[in-house]
Amino acid sequence: MKSVLVILSLLFSASAFAGISVIVHPSNSTSLTEDEVARIFLGKMKSFPGGGSAVPINAADGSNQRDTFNDVVLQKSSSQIKAYWSKLIFTGKGTPPQEADSDSEILNLIKSNPNLIGYVSNEAVTGDVKVVAQF
């Protein structure tokens, strides 16, 4: 019985810390650093390094992917991100990224628009998109 509980807890903890892949349209030839990804998702960078508009798509608020992305890439908690965007919206200096409800929705949006950038769980990545960073 103890071994079953240990195995279940290991499986749960592994899924709770699943990796995140930052993805773009396959025609996008750019490569991005972690800092550049963070700057795009914080509205501080509006285009890809090689040119072309960069439009970020966030995972749904409260999702594991979003929480992991905020913690690892943006290095902020969800409440810090909300406060950050509230300030920018109030001052008229920014608009937060649009949200998608699922990995599959993010994948469909990105494979149909070369200007979009988003993130999904590593397991959700398909050949229809290009991975530019993994965390």
What would the pLDDT profile of 24-45 be if each residue is shown by its tens digit? Answer: 999 999 889 999 999 999 999 9
Q: What are phi and psi of 50, to 5 degrees?
A: -85, 5
Taking the alpha carbons of 10, 20, 77, 62 in that order, is the dihedral positive or negative? negative
- pTM, two decimals, is 0.85
CA–CA distance, 77 with 69 (Å, rounded to integer): 10
Q: Considering the chain, what is the average pLDDT of its residues?
A: 89
What would the pLDDT profile of 43-100 be if each residue is shown by its tens digit? Answer: 999 999 988 999 999 999 999 999 999 999 999 999 999 999 999 999 999 999 999 9
Looking at the domain assignment, is residue 14 inside a domain? Answer: no
Looking at the domain assignment, is residue 4 inside a domain? Answer: no
Q: How many structural domains does the chain have?
A: 1
Q: Burial of 100 by CB count in 10 Å (0-12 exposed, 13-18 middle, 19+ buried)?
A: buried
CA–CA distance, 114 with 27 (Å, rounded to integer): 7
Looking at the domain assignment, is residue 6 inside a domain? Answer: no
Nearest by Cα to 78 from 94, 95, 96, 90: 96
Looking at the domain assignment, is residue 118 inside a domain? Answer: yes
pLDDT at site 50? 85
* Residue 74: domain span: 19-134
Looking at the domain assignment, is residue 8 inside a domain? Answer: no
Question: What CATH number is attached to the domain comprising 74?
Answer: 3.40.190.10
